[in-house]
Chain A
Amino acid sequence: MKRKNVVLNRPVFAQQVFDSRSLTVLTTLFHRFPEAGDYDLTIWRDERMVHRAHVRVSMEGGPLQLHLDLAALEGIRESYLLASGGVIGFCVSRGIGRYRVEIVQLTHQEKIVRLDSGHVIPEGDLFAVTLVRPGIYRVLQVGGRGEGEIHVRLPGKERYRPDQVTRVMVGKEGVMEPRVVEILAGQSVVFWCTIPASLRVEWVKAMEALEPPIQRPQLTRRQPRQPAQK
């Protein structure tokens, strides 16, 4: 028996933490461009700029959706064309780099930062994670009160398709709807941020059995304990 060497895309299986502030394999950030105009796009990898481009958003036509593989970008590119109202999805196909996306709108008078993914996902944008490792994941709104849960199960006998996507809305005060999501390994969850937010998804533990939704106290930002008032 002979076999050619197989190179598994390791991060796909190894990653346990996904953060919108630093994009990695299995995460995708979608930014909407509701306004026509000219934009500057800058991509940073591990704090080093790796790509710059111009984005022209046009009323007259162009694709409604673009995908940019941040791991495959090189140098400077002239420009991208997008239809007004369209979306650019920023994803990472391989590697262990951590990426940040900056989009600046160029008007006659000023430059407006529309997106700095290292800080926050602006309202209207989406953050997607594809979860491969089975188990229970906790979803946190960084710097906020929102939290959720994702249960990832290995597919059993059922007909399995990795391309099923579940949408979670991140709403006022970070409330996630639905709060608990059940998916099969390899499928994806898309968080639609209706408020500016930063999201963090982390693997908590393996799933031993099907558990009822966990009753937890509301998670708050950790504050240093105040000494007891005398």
Chain B
Amino acid sequence: MAHMTVAVSEGVFRRSFDLLQRNLVFEKADSASFGSFTAGYDVKAHLEGGSVDLRADGTIRVKELDLRWDRLRFTLGLNIPELCVGGGCVDMPWPIPDICLPRVCIFSGDPDISISPDLVAFVAQEVSFTARLVVRYFDAALPLPSPDLCAPLRVEPPPAHNQWHIHIDPETIDVDLFDFPDIVGDLIEDALTDAVKALIPGGWVRDLILAIIGSVADLIRTILDIPDEIEEWLSDLFNVSFGLLDSIGTVILDFFSRCNPLYRMDDPLEIMPASNGLIAVRIPVRNLSVSVNDAEMVVQADVGA
């Protein structure tokens, strides 16, 4: 029998988890060039809600954690292609060769437009994962790894003395796909149209240029090379090209499994505080182990020599 056993009820475990996950902030910004356009994002999110279930098989199931976006800014830069008038050829009777006219381009310079709508209001996702509990021993004498990947994720500074740490170690993390609604496509199209119009003075000049462009929507689709609706293309961009789902998963994994223990215990453990000039009474803790069943988390340890 272990010298010391602590059993933590599912309720307390849930509360511990809830307090910890409130501190998780996912923040990332990046952009990439896709040839005819550049696309980027600047996002920030936190977690809320969710249910935590301790299971008889020793795993913890966290479900329906809301991934709440505080900022979901999407930046799109388009290079307006050359717009020209004239050109074309006219048939001439033999022996005169067909005459081809030069094109005259109406912009000089290389105009591009950029929009950065915030799509926060349009996306809601949930995160679920299954995890086990793992025990790690923190040796304060060892230097922190370099680079310290936990630095932006750590809720508490690293302890100054040795500790046992109990971590939640997610095994599989499910993050809902980004699925932008129709209205986002309209929003982007409107923003791009406004940007194109802002580029060109009003009046018949703009009307002509817009006529040459065709609809701005067609121009956009041509530049972006998308056959479908803009919002579907955007969802693919976020899900695949940007790799945001992977990034979110990685942050969740690092936050819980690597950077922030759910519970921690000093080694040696203070069982009587210092008083009247006498030092505290501490006992060394050895062989700490943790297990989970469907009612509670059980921590066991021995008192060292």
Q: Which residues in A have some Cβ–Cβ distance to B below 8 Å?
A: 1-9, 12-13, 25-26, 28, 30, 32, 34, 64-65, 67, 69, 85-87, 89, 91, 93-94, 124, 126, 128, 130, 132-134, 154-155, 160-167, 185-188, 190, 192
Q: Which residues of A contact B142 (CB under 8 A)?
A: none
Least CB distance, A23 to chain B, in whole angstroms:
12
Besides the known contacts A128-B99, A160-B211, 19 further A-B residue pairs in the complex with CB atoms under 8 A apart: A1-B113, A1-B195, A3-B112, A6-B199, A8-B108, A69-B102, A85-B96, A87-B96, A87-B97, A128-B101, A130-B85, A132-B106, A155-B211, A165-B88, A165-B101, A186-B86, A186-B211, A187-B88, A192-B92
**CB <8 Å contact, A89 and B102:** yes
Complex Cα spacing A2 to B208, Å: 23
Q: Is B141 an interface residue (CB 8 A)?
A: no
Residue of A nearest to B109 (CB): A7
Q: Is B293 an interface residue (CB 8 A)?
A: no
Contact of A162 among B86, B100, B116 (CB under 8 A): B86
Supposing A3-B195, A6-B111, A154-B207 touch, asked if A186 and B95 sit within 8 A by C-beta, the answer is: no
Complex Cα spacing A94 to B191, Å: 31
Q: Which residues of A contact B107 (CB under 8 A)?
A: 6-9
**CB <8 Å contact, B97 and A85:** yes
Q: How many A-B residue pairs have CB under 8 A?
A: 145
Contact of B87 among A34, A133, A162 (CB under 8 A): A162
Complex Cα spacing A133 to B207, Å: 11
Complex Cα spacing A124 to B84, Å: 28
Supposing A85-B97, A93-B105 touch, asked if A12 and B89 sit within 8 A by C-beta, the answer is: no
Supposing A89-B101, A185-B211, A186-B212 touch, asked if A163 and B108 sit within 8 A by C-beta, the answer is: no
Q: Is B245 an interface residue (CB 8 A)?
A: no
**CB <8 Å contact, B85 and A132:** yes
Q: Is B156 an interface residue (CB 8 A)?
A: no
Report which residue of A65, A187, A188 has the largest number of chain B beta carbons within 10 angstroms of its beta carbon.
A188
Q: Which residues of B contact A162 (CB under 8 A)?
A: 84-88, 103, 212
Q: Is B150 an interface residue (CB 8 A)?
A: no
Least CB distance, A90 to chain B, in whole angstroms:
10
Least CB distance, B224 to chain A, in whole angstroms:
18
Residue of B nearest to A64 (CB): B97
**CB <8 Å contact, A3 and B88:** no
Complex Cα spacing A85 to B93, Å: 12
B190-205 contact mask (Cβ, 8 Å, vs A): 1 or 0: 0100110011110011
Q: Which residues of A contact B200 (CB under 8 A)?
A: 6, 8
**CB <8 Å contact, B109 and A6:** yes
Supposing A3-B114, A12-B85, A188-B88 touch, asked if A134 and B208 sit within 8 A by C-beta, the answer is: yes
Contact of B115 among A1, A4, A13, A89 (CB under 8 A): A1
Contact of B88 among A8, A133, A164, A185 (CB under 8 A): A164
Q: How many residues of B contact A (CB 8 A)?
A: 44
Q: Is B104 an interface residue (CB 8 A)?
A: yes
**CB <8 Å contact, B104 and A25:** yes
Q: Which residues of B contact A134 (CB under 8 A)?
A: 204, 208
The B interface is mostly helix, strand or loop, or mixed, namely mixed
Q: Which residues of B contact A69 (CB under 8 A)?
A: 102
Q: Is B279 an interface residue (CB 8 A)?
A: no
Q: Which residues of A contact B89 (CB under 8 A)?
A: 163, 165
Q: Which residues of A contact B99 (CB under 8 A)?
A: 30, 65, 87, 89, 126, 128, 165, 190
Complex Cα spacing A166 to B201, Å: 29
Q: Is B90 an interface residue (CB 8 A)?
A: yes
Q: Which residues of A contact B96 (CB under 8 A)?
A: 32, 85, 87, 124
Q: Which residues of B contact A163 (CB under 8 A)?
A: 86-89, 101, 103
Q: Is B110 an interface residue (CB 8 A)?
A: yes
Q: Which residues of B contact A166 (CB under 8 A)?
A: 90
Residue of B nearest to A157 (CB): B211
Complex Cα spacing A162 to B89, Å: 11
Q: Which residues of B contact A190 (CB under 8 A)?
A: 90, 99, 101
Supposing A186-B86, A190-B90 touch, asked if A3 and B103 sit within 8 A by C-beta, the answer is: no
Complex Cα spacing A1 to B196, Å: 11
Contact of B108 among A1, A86, A94, A165 (CB under 8 A): A94
* Chain B, range 47-106, C-beta contacts under 8 Å to A: 84-92, 95-97, 99-106
Q: Which residues of A contact B110 (CB under 8 A)?
A: 4
Q: Which residues of A contact B207 (CB under 8 A)?
A: 154
Residue of B nearest to A13 (CB): B205
Complex Cα spacing A166 to B90, Å: 7
Residue of A nearest to B107 (CB): A6
Contact of B104 among A26, A85, A89, A126 (CB under 8 A): A26
Report which residue of B89, B102, B104 has the largest number of chain A beta carbons within 10 angstroms of its beta carbon.
B104
* Chain B, range 160-180, C-beta contacts under 8 Å to A: none
Q: Which residues of A contact B114 (CB under 8 A)?
A: 1-3
Q: Which residues of B contact A132 (CB under 8 A)?
A: 85, 106, 208
Contact of A188 among B86, B113, B195, B214 (CB under 8 A): B86
